[in-house]
Amino acid sequence: MSDTSQILPETGRGTASEAGGGGGSPPAGTFAATPLHQPAAGPPPRAGEDLTAAPLDVLADFPAIPSGWAYLDTAATSQKPRPVIDAITRGYGETYATVHRGVYQRSADMTLAFEAARERVARFIGAKPQEVIFTRGATEGINLVAQCWAATNLKPGDRILLSMLEHHSNIVPWQMVAERTGAQIDVVPLTGDHRIDLDAMAAMLTEQHKLVALAHVSNVVGSVLDAKRAVELAHAVGAKILLDGCQAVPRLPVNVADLGCDFYVFSGHKLYGPTGIGVLWGRYDLLDAMPPYQGGGSMIDRVTFAKTTYAPPPGRFEAGTPHIVGVVGLHAAIDYVDGIGLDRIHAHETALVTQARDALSQINSVRLFGPDDSAGIVSFAVEGVHPHDVATILDEGNVAIRAGHHCAQPLMDSLGVPATARASFGVYNGAGDIAALVKGIERVTRIFG
């Protein structure tokens, strides 16, 4: 038996009954436990320091970023800090066991840690634990809502409202549901600086609209949705609203209760956590009325060949053995981000965006997309140069950016370009990375000039 004294205090150690004994998942919130890692406190403040203005200095926490490499692709996936790597390593190398099934102590301890992570996610986004569903990622969360809520509630004549800047994962699932149910899809246009046009949305919404699905922050241009207004507009016509928070949660404080939305999704790997883990939050009354997404172990109450009854949420939507260590890693990532503070992160990335846009705007052949106050993301094009060539030349100078349509082909069509180059920032970036980016773009213009 491994020593679990560092995982849980003696008073919180699990029992066989708490572990589930091989039956259905226990309700979230049943367990109170400490995590499988020590939360990171973040860089200590200096005396008199304005925490929202001071640049972050946490690059040393990220072992996969070597000296001299400017990683500017955080919107695709974030690099991982040491506390997350350590939590995952311990999860597999020292404390691993299944959850919700074992009657032995280590399984009970891991179950406690798994449910503690659910509680941590809930606190992070202002939710209740029983409303937090672990998924493989945001894409699966959207598909779950599409298949379990939309497909069972929509009918011919109903309408779904999306926006022009959505990621394919917030378009294709709704198209699939529309084909299945006979519902129709409408698309909100953008403002001149590439924000979702909420005035146009207000004019478009009717009582036939039953669902609205929008990005909280655009993955391409970084524009931030006025989410509370969008929620109010949707609810005014009786529509439910889902927000894609993949780019928002790592950068902005999010409180789903304050926003008032009906569903919210995000992925772990953009939040400095592991891949293969994400979160769907939904209002409990909606979740409780939804049928299961998949059938299998853990999501059941009682199985006979005559009839199966299902567990309440969230277990109803978590069939099979979950990504246990991914959940542990997500917990560590949230602790890391909170240890720094989302206000500090947002201020840091805002300063980087301003520096990058100011510098790039001085290069005549560069066209910038998105608003000046975009959240951590700068998309651009160099006149006469394909973004793939831009990215290749930058890579030769140890600058990593994203080039392509960014899984947002309708937005590319709207912008009138086949692709863009995109620099996106994280807590580990600094002014030196922007200098390297600008130097690389200047080299691009010389080569193609």
Residues annotated as catalytic are: 407
Are 36 and 7 in contact, with CB atoms under 8 Å apart? yes
The C-alpha atoms of residue 69 and residue 433 are separated, in whole angstroms, by 8
Closest by CA to 275, choosing from 76, 2, 12, is 76
Could you give phi then psi for residue 38, rounded to 5 degrees? -95, 120
C-alpha 152, offset from chain centre: 26
Radius of gyration of the chain (CA): 23
Are 241 and 262 in contact, with CB atoms under 8 Å apart? yes
DSSP H helices, 1-104, are 16-19, 82-93
Are 164 and 189 in contact, with CB atoms under 8 Å apart? yes
Are 164 and 414 in contact, with CB atoms under 8 Å apart? yes
| Residue whose pair of structure tokens reads 């679990």 in the numeric block | 4
Judged by DSSP in three states, 369 sits in: strand
Closest by CA to 389, choosing from 315, 448, 308, is 448
Establish whether the linkage from the previous residue to 314 is cis, with ω within 30° of 0. Answer: yes
